[in-house]
């Protein structure tokens, strides 16, 4: 028996920074734009305003989920296990049905309709063998979820990352350009700068400015799947996609500018 979990939560955010020098590098803030933000702890103190963001992760949509009298026909993500008590909102033996995800994203809108931004850190496809999914299915699922988030939060900045299940074959992320990177970059074009689109097509990583008048800094979205132990394509590479070198350049530039940097990804270091 297994228990699959997914995550949506609302969080406070903020950050302190020093007096900046002029920044020149990727996703650089313009010098002197807006007052410095409060620190994370200070932003949570009484009398001080805190920003808010939504974090979405591990949705694992199972597009073939259905309520069935046959416990072996409910969801491919259950594998060979019977699912005897499936309901319209899913079952703990299955990945997420569309009804559950759709309802949850709309509930986010009711709880906090105007977040500063949304983090979406991947793993969108079901836990099924590679031969039962395919590249087209991966792209279709990512597109479907992208359209839902844009429909519900049309004016909200989204920082999205790929999870290890968001590729075909799963986990096998290449260190260079490929069709999945290219197609998803186009799907996420409304959320990305031109520089970020080019970087994403190269290696599925990028850097963007954080929103708001405070000029809080930058957010770096890494493709940590390149370092995943299950990724045979990059096992012998010291710096797949030159992502570490790029990150060093971004952090050096941010340090000179006095910008704080949020670093996000899917697979933890």
The predicted-structure confidence for 3-14, as pLDDT tens digits, reads as follows: 345 567 677 766
Task: Round to whole Å and give the CA distance between 64 and 98.
Answer: 9
- Phi and psi at 163, nearest 5°, equal -95, 170
Task: Round to whole Å and give the CA distance between 31 and 20.
Answer: 7
Helix (H) or strand (E) holding 13, with range, is: strand 7-13
pLDDT tens sequence for the chain (269 residues): 343 455 676 777 664 344 445 556 667 755 444 434 434 434 444 454 578 999 999 999 999 999 999 999 999 999 999 999 999 999 999 999 999 999 999 999 999 999 999 999 999 999 999 999 999 999 999 999 999 999 999 999 999 999 999 999 999 999 999 999 999 999 999 999 999 999 999 999 999 998 865 566 899 999 999 999 999 999 999 999 999 999 999 999 999 998 989 999 999 87
Q: For 38-73, give the DSSP string.
A: PPHHHHTSTTS--EEEEEEE---B-TT----SSTTS
Helix (H) or strand (E) holding 81, with range, is: none
CA 238-174-232 angle, to 5 degrees, is 70
pLDDT, tens digit, 9 for 90 and up, residues 213-231 = 556 689 999 999 999 999 9
Global pTM reads: 0.86
In SS3 terms, 190-222 reads as HHCCHHHHHHHHHHCCEEEECCCCCCCEEEEEC
Task: Round to whole Å and give the CA distance between 64 and 68.
Answer: 11
Check if the beta carbon of residue 13 is closer than 8 Å to that of residue 236. no
Q: What is the largest CA-CA distance in the chain?
A: 65
């Amino acid at each position: 028996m297994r228990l699959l979990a997914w995550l949506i939560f609302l969080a406070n955010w903020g950050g302190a920074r020093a007096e900046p020098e002029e920044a020149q590098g990727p996703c650089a803030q313009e010098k002197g734009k807006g007052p410095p933000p409060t620190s994370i702890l200070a932003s949570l103190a009484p009398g001080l305003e805190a920003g808010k963001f939504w974090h979405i992760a591990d949705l694992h949509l199972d597009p073939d989920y259905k309520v069935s009298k046959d416990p072996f026909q409910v969801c491919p993500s259950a594998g060979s296990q019977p699912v005897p008590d499936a309901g319209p909102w899913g079952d703990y033996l299955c990945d997420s049905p569309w009804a559950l995800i759709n309802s949850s994203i709309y509930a986010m809108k009711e709880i906090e309709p105007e977040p500063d931004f949304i983090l979406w850190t991947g793993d969108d496809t079901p836990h099924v063998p590679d031969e039962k999914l395919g590249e087209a299915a991966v792209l279709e699922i990512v597109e479907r979820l992208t359209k839902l988030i844009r429909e519900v939060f049309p004016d909200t900045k989204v920082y999205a990352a790929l999870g290890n299940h968001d590729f075909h074959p799963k986990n096998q992320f290449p260190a260079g350009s490929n069709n999945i990177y290219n197609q998803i970059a186009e799907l996420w074009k409304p959320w990305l700068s031109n520089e970020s689109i080019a970087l994403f097509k190269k290696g599925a990583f990028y850097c963007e400015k954080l929103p708001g008048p405070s000029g809080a800094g930058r957010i770096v979205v890494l493709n940590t799947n390149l370092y995943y132990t299950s990724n045979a394509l990059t096992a012998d590479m010291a710096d797949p996609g030159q992502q570490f070198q790029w990150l060093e350049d971004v952090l050096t530039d941010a340090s000179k500018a006095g910008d704080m940097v949020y670093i996000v990804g899917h697979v933890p270091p």
